[in-house]
Amino acid sequence: MGQKKDLTGSEKSKIVRYLAEGCSSLKIAKLLKRDHRTIKRFIQNSQQGRKKRVEKPRRKITAHELRKVKRAAAKMPLATSLAIFQSCNITGVPKSTRCAILRDMAKVRKAERRPPLNKTHKLKRQDWAKKYLKTDFSKVLWTDEMRVSLDGPDGWARGWIGKGQRAPVRLRRQQGGGGVLVWAGIIKDELVGPFRVEDGVKLNSQSYCQFLEDTFFKQWYRKKSASFKKNMIFMQDNAPSHVSKYSTAWLARKGIKEEKLMTWPPCSPDLNPIENLWSIIKCEIYKEGKQYTSLNSVWEAVVAAARNVDGEQIKTLTESVDGRLLSVLAKKGGYIGR
């Protein structure tokens, strides 16, 4: 039995179903005719570590000073290398040497941003994972909204500048110069939308339903076959306009109710694969620190970036949900990242 590099999406789905039926990893490997190590790696959701960086010779510090630096780094998260060394009373060490020393014991990271998860949230996330463990996620339409501004995230407007060159001027505007609200969905290997919410419209229950009627239902859902509509599951998060009694009743009249409307756990953007699509689009429209001068221009950039996302990329995102379910169960409802 030869060892292969990657599992296909259908194989991953089968692994999840076999696990739900109580099969061992060894039995699953025999059923799929795959190497046992490959199956175990998928179940454990392990990641390959990066290769160790090749470093140049650097100024040495004593073992005693090194222990002091290590303790200081542990006590001062997100501190600069200078602050860490100063707290240890170690002076005269250049920045390159400080960073090289710290690289052996620490990593440069931004503070993680994640939704607050209490005990109830974690239990609901586990219940959600168990409920949908045997679901065919190729039938699920994952939806969400995204706001894009004219300026984009401030931290992305950084990059290399050649010696002797001046950095380009960047406009500074309040609230990023304004923005556009975008709605989209993904199902299997297909992108639904994106659709633009009319400027100045606040999405309450009534306007949200009217928006879905004018875009999603008229321009996409109505064209689908009866069998497709019968099997499709509609996913949306727990925004007030989504889960209100008005919106729920309106969707029910459209035939999206009960098992066709996915229950969604609170504070769980990490479980929604469309969040990764938003990241792909934003990286494209704001590359090289690009800014926009009008709402129409940033909207056109979003549409162009969305068209460049091919079906294989979308399929990779939708097929990742099986692994997310296993991860959230393994972490007992904890945050799994994206």
Determine the average pLDDT of the residues in 312-329: 95
Q: Tell me if 177 sits within 8 A of 296, measured CB to CB.
A: no
Those residues with Cβ within 8 angstroms of residue 68's Cβ, 6 or more apart along the chain or in another chain: 88, 90
Q: Tell me if 87 sits within 8 A of 125, measured CB to CB.
A: no
Q: What is the DSSP letter of 258?
A: G
Those residues with Cβ within 8 angstroms of residue 210's Cβ, 6 or more apart along the chain or in another chain: none
Residues 183-216: pLDDT tens digits? 999 999 999 999 999 998 999 999 999 999 999 9
Q: Which of 211, 193, 194 is nearest to 202 (CA)?
A: 211
Paired with 145 in beta bridges are 183
Stretch among 51-60, 81-90, 285-294, 307-316 having the lowest mean pLDDT: 51-60
Q: How far apart are CA 226 and CA 205, in angstroms?
A: 27
Q: Determine whether 27 is exposed, middle or buried from the number of CB atoms within 10 Å of its CB (0-12, 13-18, 19+).
A: middle
Stretch among 24-28, 123-127, 238-242 having the lowest mean pLDDT: 24-28
Structure tokens at 52: 């160790």
Boundaries of every domain in the chain: 9-45, 63-105, 119-153+177-331
Paired with 184 in beta bridges are 144
Q: Which of 37, 56, 43, 41 is nearest to 14 (CA)?
A: 43
Average pLDDT over all residues of the chain: 87
Paired with 151 in beta bridges are none
Confidence of residue 57 (pLDDT cuts 50, 70, 90): low
Q: How far apart are CA 259 and CA 164, in angstroms?
A: 63
Confidence of residue 47 (pLDDT cuts 50, 70, 90): very low
Q: Which of 61, 18, 9, 15 is nearest to 41 (CA)?
A: 15
Q: Helices (DSSP H) in 162-244: which residue ranges?
A: 205-212, 218-219, 226-231, 240-243
Torsion of CA 6, 283, 277, 201, to 10 degrees: 180
Buried-exposed string 322-331: b where 16+ CB fall within 10 A, e elsewhere: bbbbbbbbee
Q: What are the distances in angstroms from CA 135 to CA 245, 313, 319, 322?
A: 26, 21, 12, 9
Q: Which residue type is seen at 53?
A: R
* Kind and range of the H or E run holding 18: helix 9-20
Stretch among 167-171, 264-268, 282-286 having the lowest mean pLDDT: 167-171
pLDDT computed for residue 218 by the predictor: 96
Residue 212: how many CB atoms within 10 A of its CB?
22
Helix (H, G, I), strand (E, B) or coil at 194: strand
Q: How far apart are CA 295 and CA 198, in angstroms?
A: 11
Q: Which of 154, 130, 145 is nearest to 184 (CA)?
A: 145
pLDDT surpassing 60 at residue 3: no
Domain 119-153+177-331 has CATH 3.30.420.10: yes
Q: How far apart are CA 223 and CA 230, in angstroms?
A: 13
Determine the average pLDDT of the residues in 246-260: 96
Q: Tell me if 236 sits within 8 A of 82, measured CB to CB.
A: no
Structure tokens at 320: 């990742």
Q: Determine whether 133 is exposed, middle or buried from the number of CB atoms within 10 Å of its CB (0-12, 13-18, 19+).
A: middle
